[in-house]
Amino acid sequence: GKDMKPFVVNFSDIGIDFKGNHIVRKYNDIKHIFKTTDPTLERENPVIYEVFEGPIQEKEGELMFLITILYPGTVNGEFFMTKGHYHTVENTAEVYLGLRGKGLILCQTKKGEFEAVEIGPNKVVYIPPFWAHRTVNISDEPLIFFAVYPAHAGHDYETVEKEGFKKRIFRGDNGILFVEQ
Ligand code: S6P
Ligand code: ZN
């Protein structure tokens, strides 16, 4: 806003003096997004991913930025992933920069187009307006990425919960498997 001054956030201070919003999603919060359930995960309820948002107001003109840490693992072979969403203000894009690990960003439109693109160190992914996006960790280490988007965009999780994504990503014998939902 008008009264803001330039500032720096040191994401290596996460957990020490991080000022922004911290969102934590555990297995039992999001287990319905996976094809199957796993009683061990239900009992242990691990953190699947967490998001550290910059201290930014959600209003037009601002840019929200954040770091997502998506932990490695599977639910009976289906890789850990984010809930995924459209932006509520649909005509808003987003940029991801991979920092660590390896993943896929599943993208789809309400018209039924589907794309999967790789994210990892040195990779910038551009998600155009109108494309829903979900991140899948296909590596054995935490997948960490930076993202920035118009701060007023908002998140529409409902549409994705109703319609799902066209494909699910499973660990295969030699690599990864795309499974039609
Ligand atoms: C925000 C951006 C990401 C996700 C985060 C968690 O627009 O796309 O920061 O919020 O990766 O995913 P989700 O689908 O639970 O918000
Ligand atoms: Zn988004």
In short, whether 85's Cβ falls inside 6 Å of ligand 1 is yes
User: 6 in a domain, yes or no?
Assistant: no
Please state the ipTM of this predicted complex: 0.97
Residue 44 backbone dihedrals phi, psi, to 5 degrees = -85, -25
- Report the nearest-CA residue for atom 12 of ligand 1: 82
pLDDT in the model for residue 87: 98
Q: What residue numbers bound the domain in which 28 lies? A: 21-180
User: 2 in a domain, yes or no?
Assistant: no
The number of folded domains in the chain is 1
In short, whether 149's Cβ falls inside 6 Å of ligand 1 is yes
* Tokens at 81, concatenated: 């992933």
CATH of the domain at 136: 2.60.120.10
Query: Ligand 2 mean position to 94 CA, how many Å?
Result: 6
User: 1 in a domain, yes or no?
Assistant: no
Q: Integer distance in angstroms from the first to the last C-alpha of the chain?
A: 43
DSSP annotation string for 137-161: E-SSS-EEEEEEEETT--EE-HHHH
Query: Ligand 2 mean position to 150 CA, how many Å?
Result: 9
Give the mean pLDDT per block of 10 residues along the chain (181 residues): 81 69 96 98 98 93 96 98 98 98 98 98 98 98 97 98 97 94 83
pLDDT in the model for residue 11: 78
Alpha carbons 102 and 104: distance in angstroms, whole number: 7
User: 13 in a domain, yes or no?
Assistant: no
Alpha carbons 120 and 135: distance in angstroms, whole number: 11
How many CB atoms neighbour CB 144 within 10 A? Answer: 20
Query: Ligand 1 mean position to 60 CA, how many Å?
Result: 18
